[in-house]
Structure 1
């Protein structure tokens, strides 16, 4: 028997939405979803609130959740901001990461290469790689700012790998280049490469949204 948690329901709904299986404006009814997943309404409600935080759901008529109508321009400013914050964190990590943290970063690169085309697994490793740089940067204010923005971008960034498996190889190559800059303590190169990395992720989101248009 599969026990459905709010996390697994959220992941399933994200996959459906970004793949175009659920169209903008489509209802996300608590009771219907609870019956579909074989759970109470409580984990479904939590998953729907997370979708709203992730900019994938919004309140429609009578405050009921529906799949959010969204265009690439709605996420442009947000991804630009993420790129700026993460690029600064990468630059700081280049000078502040400990040797142990650098080795842990390299281990994450190896782990990312070992998962083949498993998009879900790579998405989780991708998030851990970025988190390792955030930790290594040792700037609590920037880390908090990024965490707040990640609530709205993380699902889209993970969707990169599910929507287009070619993104797996380009992401790995970009991570490798960022890591090499950090190992060389080259802050400016790490900054530039991270900004470009986030921009590449946004371009995939643009394509996902274009394919979701009815």
Structure 2
């Protein structure tokens, strides 16, 4: 129960931070949050530590948590690293995915093309990337990507909520990546995945710029 409660608190805080409802530097006070969510301080503490791991919170004065200011250059490094790792996984998937896995990937892409709801598409997007990661069959690269995704996944999801045009460009990029995998073209898959991750970053830079005073 505590773990699930911490997860719910974490997701609520992530939504608030990424959507801009919680400003950089805003205090994240354990007791106040515990009262807000009607829980003890234990699950709140767990959620705050997860936020710190995800680079969405940091220690301020007296070691108290505050919402972290995410500068474009911070995101650039994260997305560059994620793009390099994920493009390597995608290239491996082009050779290692089974035919069933390839067809499943195409079905996910088709589902995404029929979806106009940003939140629902965000979940489809996650399934698309998870399918490619699994198809690569490299646990070391996969675990490395998981660590990077902890820091980038919330920002990627914001792409579709904050910029509806990103839905259409993401659909086209997914289709191109899936086609390259079907053709077993590892280098094209690598290049397209790297570009796909970079496109997410470009949308977020614009989002952050619009929030600056």
Shared fold, TM over 0.5: yes
Residue of structure 2 equivalent to 1:32 = 32
**Number of paired residues?**
210
For 1:162 and 1:10, how far apart are their aligned partners in 2?
Answer: 19
Q: Secondary structure of 1:185's partner? A: coil
- The answer as to whether partners of 1:93 and 1:136 remain within 8 angstroms in 2 is yes
Which structure exhibits the higher relative contact order, with contacts defined as CA atoms closer than 8 Å and separated by 6 or more residues? 1
Residue of structure 2 equivalent to 1:86 = 86
* Structure 1 outlier segments of 4+, above 4 Å: none
Residue of structure 1 equivalent to 2:74 = 74
**Does 1:56 pair with 2:56?**
yes
Residue of structure 2 equivalent to 1:125 = 124
Q: Secondary structure of 2:39's partner? A: coil
Q: Secondary structure of 2:66's partner? A: strand
Q: TM-score, normalised by structure 2?
A: 0.91
Question: Structure 1: any 5+ residue segments left out of the alignment?
Answer: none
- The answer as to whether partners of 1:23 and 1:212 remain within 8 angstroms in 2 is no
Q: TM-score, normalised by structure 1?
A: 0.91
Cα distance change on mapping 1:162 and 1:12 into 2, 3 Å = farther
Cα distance change on mapping 1:70 and 1:8 into 2, 3 Å = same
Residue of structure 1 equivalent to 2:179 = 180
For 1:172 and 1:203, how far apart are their aligned partners in 2?
Answer: 16
- The answer as to whether partners of 1:79 and 1:198 remain within 8 angstroms in 2 is yes
For 1:42 and 1:168, how far apart are their aligned partners in 2?
Answer: 38
Q: What root-mean-square deviation, in Å, do the aligned CA atoms of Structure 1 and Structure 2 show?
A: 1.6
For 1:45 and 1:164, how far apart are their aligned partners in 2?
Answer: 32
Cα distance change on mapping 1:201 and 1:137 into 2, 3 Å = same
What are the Cα deviations for residues 44-95 of structure 1, in whole angstroms up to 9, with x where unaligned?
2222222111111101112111000221001212211111111111111111
Cα distance change on mapping 1:6 and 1:112 into 2, 3 Å = farther
Cα distance change on mapping 1:76 and 1:103 into 2, 3 Å = same
What are the Cα deviations for residues 12-64 of structure 1, in whole angstroms up to 9, with x where unaligned?
22222122211110001122122222233232222222211111110111211
Question: Structure 2: any 5+ residue segments left out of the alignment?
Answer: none
Residue of structure 1 equivalent to 2:157 = 158
For 1:211 and 1:28, how far apart are their aligned partners in 2?
Answer: 24
| Cα shift at 1:177 | 0.8
- The answer as to whether partners of 1:18 and 1:163 remain within 8 angstroms in 2 is no
